Amino acid sequence: MNTQSQNDRIIIFDTTLRDGEQSPGATLNVDEKLTIARQLARLGVDVIEAGFPYSSPGDFEAVQKIAQTVGMPDGPVICGLARATRPDIQVAAEALKPAAHSRIHTFIATSDIHLEYKLKKTRQEVLAIAEEMVAYAKSLVSNVEFSPEDAGRSDPEYLYAVLERAISAGATTINIPDTVGYTTPSEFGALIRGIKENVPNIDQAIISVHGHNDLGLAVANFLEAVKNGARQLECTINGIGERAGNAALEELVMALHVRRQYFNPFFGRPVDSEQPLTNIDTRQLYKTSRLVSNLTGMLVQPNKAIVGANAFAHESGIHQDGVLKNKLTYEIMDAQLIGLTDNQIVLGKLSGRNAFRSRLKELGFELTEQDINKAFVRFKELADKKKEITDWDLEAIVNDEIQQAPDLFRLELVQVSCGDHACPTATVTLRTPEGQELTDAATGTGPVDAVYKAINRVVNVPNQLIEFSVQSVTAGIDAIGEVTIRLRYNDRIFSGRAANTDIIVASAQAYVNALNRLYLALRSQELQAQTGKGAVLEPAQEASAAVSDG
């Protein structure tokens, strides 16, 4: 890799499908990962970290399918995570084989606290492992990334030595993680500057950064790292990830775009250069944010920078007056720049299939004929209830109808009776995975509680409801309501989502979707127990399988 040719811009490394999926409740199936990967390619990310192939058969399959379908010659680099062990690296290489451009990302901790309590190894042992495993990865693929986990709390002199050995062994990217989100911008910038000044062969590799948002400083840390020589940023859509999440891709990209004049000199460019600092198509940001939110069930907070519902809203009279006179008075970027268009009316009940198909294509949805037919049925049902159908309504229909959980239990009927002087009662009918229709009824503290109790009586899978939220897709009394829920079973969390003009129906569908994910996981465990084919982890490694580079 010619590192010099990429030092004049920022490489965007998206880890939504790996680190982002480690958010509690954000587990995605293979098809959902593939859907997100395709959108990330449209967004223009340079590298997609598709997963951790060695961690489970499901992750291996997801990485392999993404490598096959998204890893095209003109597409992004497809990356797989691997601990610094031969089995991890070998499995990652196998999963990545179909990709035109592949990368193995291997890591091992370098902080004394990790060495003593987690790895139980000496500095010299870790130094030797890092060098040996990078060289092994290099023998399988040409593009190798190395991460010294917990670099932010590692001894600088030891860190320099590990990085020098890793580069000599063939690492083309050196990633510096702030694993626990502990550093401040000035500290993180100094860490990157120290690496540039003290690692003799650093010019042979690209400096990357990975960081968590525990103190709300991840984006600020990354921007400071850019000023000091970092040229790859590892981030996630909506900032999802472990604990408080990762640095948010959309915030980093727009900060570099809006403040180009400030950052240009750090890339050796004229201050007034209009050349973008990333390859991201910013008009795809909002759509990508919504897709990830819908599929993971993780709602975007209204005041979230760039993609939050209130990011371009003005309620103050003074602000409204200024914006009407000139948007620049209170807006530093145009909403259309991130793909947020006016909520225009596009279709109605008399619109035909071709108009529906054309509009979905304009909105960026690439659906099979079967999926279009399914979504069109929902569109016609909605058109009978709503006079005006908006782009946001269409997006909700597609996400609800096409991008759903496995259809094991299917809701056939839901009926409720409630009132201020009545006992909330619900009757539900579900079709089981065997095709049998079962009906039951229950009472509850409210209509949704009654519906969920009735569904539980039919499905009979223990679970704990830990989150229930409803939000309106558009304004008006006839707006579609989106319901997102989370269930806990043992230590795992399963999410479900549905949209409908009737929020009771949406609530029931969302609950069934989450239960289907739970039911599928239980069936998978039973099948693995029967066949003896569990995850590909060795017993001694299982305890640390969830440990990431960041």
Q: pLDDT at position 481, please?
A: 86
Same domain, 57 and 198: yes
- Rounded to an integer, what distance in angstroms lies between the CA atom of residue 207 and that of residue 476? 50
**What type of residue is 4?**
Q
Q: Which of 32-46, 221-235, 314-328, 371-385 has the lowest mean pLDDT?
A: 314-328
Residues 375, 500 within the same domain: no
Flag whether pLDDT at 534 surpasses 70.
no
Q: Which of 208-222, 466-480, 494-508 has the highest mean pLDDT?
A: 208-222
Element housing 108 (H / E): strand 102-109
Other Cβ atoms closer than 10 A to 231: 20
Q: What is the pLDDT of residue 544?
A: 40
Q: In this structure, are 430 and 377 located in the same domain?
A: no
Query: In 3-state terms, what secondary structure has residue 179?
Result: coil
Q: Rounded to 10 degrees, what is the CA torsion of 527, 533, 539, 545?
A: -80
In a domain, 359, yes or no: yes
The answer to whether position 144 is within a domain reads yes
Do residue 206 and residue 152 come from a single domain? yes
Across 15-29, 504-518, 527-541, least confident range = 527-541
Least confident of 100-104, 133-137, 354-358, 483-487: 354-358
Instruction: Give yes or no: residues 230 and 369 share one domain.
Output: no
Choose the final residue of a domain: 377, 401, 425.
401
Q: What is the pLDDT of residue 385?
A: 78
Q: Which residue has the higher pLDDT, 35 or 351?
A: 35
- pLDDT tens, position by position, 432-466: 989 999 999 999 999 999 999 999 999 998 999 99
Instruction: Please check whether residues 511 and 434 belong to one and the same domain.
Output: yes
Range of weakest confidence among 122-126, 199-203, 355-359, 435-439: 355-359
Report the pLDDT value the prediction gives residue 540, as an integer from 0 to 100. 32
Do 275 and 356 reside in the same domain of the chain? no
CATH number at residue 481: 3.30.160.270
pLDDT of residue 328: 56
pTM of the model: 0.83
Tally the domains of the chain.
3
Length of the chain equals 550
Residues 142-160 pLDDT 10s: 999 999 999 999 999 999 9
Higher pLDDT, 529 or 92: 92
Q: How confident is the model at residue 528 (pLDDT cuts 50, 70, 90)?
A: low
Radius of gyration of the chain (CA): 25
> Is residue 505 located within the same domain as residue 527?
yes
Phi, psi angles (nearest 5°) of residue 277: -90, -10
pLDDT of 194 higher than 50: yes
Summarised one tens digit per residue, pLDDT across range 336-348 is 899 876 545 567 7
Whether residue 395 is found in the same domain as residue 414:
no
Domain CATH for 215: 3.20.20.70
Q: Which residues pair with 460 in a beta bridge?
A: none
Distance CA 329, CA 343 (A): 23
- At 272 the three-state DSSP class reads coil
What pLDDT is recorded for position 3? 40
pLDDT at 407 over 80: no
From 270, 296, 322, give the residue that closes a domain: 296
Report in angstroms the alpha-carbon separations of 442 from 248, 422, 458.
43, 14, 11
What does the alpha-carbon distance between residue 219 and residue 367 come to, in Å, rounded to a whole number?
Answer: 35
In a domain, 336, yes or no: no
- 303 lies in some domain: no
Classify residue 51 as left (phi > 0), alpha (psi -120 to 50) or beta: left
Choice among 51-60, 394-403, 441-450 with the minimum mean pLDDT: 394-403
For the ranges 354-363, 392-401, 486-495, the maximum mean pLDDT occurs at: 486-495
Could you read off the pLDDT of 199-254 as tens digits, one per residue? 999 999 999 999 999 999 999 999 999 999 999 999 999 999 999 999 999 999 99
For residue 146, give the 3-state DSSP assignment.
strand
- Res. 130: pLDDT tops 80: yes
- Examine the pLDDT at 322 and tell me if it is beyond 70: no
DSSP string for 5-49 = GGTTS-EEEE-TTTTGGGSTT----HHHHHHHHHHHHHHT-SEEE
Percentage, residues of the chain above pLDDT 90: 61
Tell me, yes or no, whether 215 and 89 share the same domain.
yes
Q: Is residue 321 part of a domain?
A: no
In a domain, 504, yes or no: yes
Q: Report the first-to-last Cα separation within the chain, whole angstroms.
A: 24
Residues 95 and 65 in one domain: yes
CA distances, 546 to each of 14, 36, 126, 471 (Å): 19, 22, 19, 33
Containing structural domain, residue 391: 345-401
Give domain status of residue 326, yes or no: no
Rounded CA-CA distance 547/85 in Å is 13
pLDDT of 547 over the 50 cut = no
Does 173 map to a domain?
yes
Are residues 388 and 441 both part of a single domain?
Answer: no
